[in-house]
Amino acid sequence: MLTAGMKAPDFSLSDQHGNTVTPADFAGKKIVLYFYPRDNTPGCSRQACAFAGAYEDFKTMDVAVIGVSKDSVASHVKFAEKYSLPFILLSDPELQAIQAYDVWQEKKNYGKVSMGVVRSTYIIDENGVIEKVMPKVKPDTNAAEILEYLRGKA
């Protein structure tokens, strides 16, 4: 995993609207960059809905929320529409950001070992430096934990 204090890795990915997004687009703004395994799975849907529910709080604090998975842009469009997600979802089928942020790891599921995205969140400060690393987060509490952390810093 990357650690706090490191420069956040750069990337250039398409969002659910087909726009190219890079971390530089958010210079001067904090970013909550969360990685999740797959659109429309129970845990990922709960996590996305929790971020959507807290989105106004993030906006008030001028914090950008960005979700990243290896799903296609088309999949992200459906996922965002289904759950009325107001934030950016980035498509990373080539694992550009997923590998740069070291969240592509070995996972065990029902005794079977495979590679996949480990649900993780990074808070990146206004200068593009990793402020906080949250590995193996829980989908139901991730957004609330981040808000709590950010409010504690205010």
Active site residues: 44
Q: Which residues pair with 123 in a beta bridge?
A: 32, 132
Element at 73 (helix H, strand E): helix 73-83
Q: Which residues contact 4 (CB under 8 A, 6 or more apart)?
A: 130, 131, 132, 133
Q: 59 phi and psi, to 5 degrees?
A: -60, -45
Token pair recorded at residue 72: 């296609």
- 3-state class of 141 per DSSP? coil
